[in-house]
Amino acid sequence: MSSTARGDAMNIELEERVRHLAYAIWELEGRPDGRAHAHWERALKELDGVVSALAPVKATDANKKAASRSTSKTQAAPPKRKSARAPQVTFN
DSSP, residue by residue, 25-68: HHHHTT--TT-HHHHHHHHHHHHHHHHHHHSPPPPPHHHHHHHH
- Is the pTM for the entire model greater than 0.75? no
Mean pLDDT computed over 11-34: 94
In a domain, 63, yes or no: no
In a domain, 21, yes or no: yes
Q: What is the pLDDT of residue 17?
A: 92
In a domain, 25, yes or no: yes
In a domain, 65, yes or no: no
Model confidence band, residue 11 (pLDDT cutoffs 50, 70, 90): confident
C-beta of residue 18 within 8 angstroms of C-beta of residue 43: yes
Mean pLDDT computed over 45-49: 89
Return the number of other C-beta atoms located less than 10 Å from residue 51's C-beta. 12
In a domain, 86, yes or no: no
Please count the structural domains in the chain. Answer: 1
Closest Cα partner for 81 from 59, 63, 54, 61? 54
In a domain, 64, yes or no: no
* DSSP annotation of 69: S
In a domain, 60, yes or no: no
Q: What is the pLDDT of residue 1?
A: 56
Domain carrying residue 42: 3-55
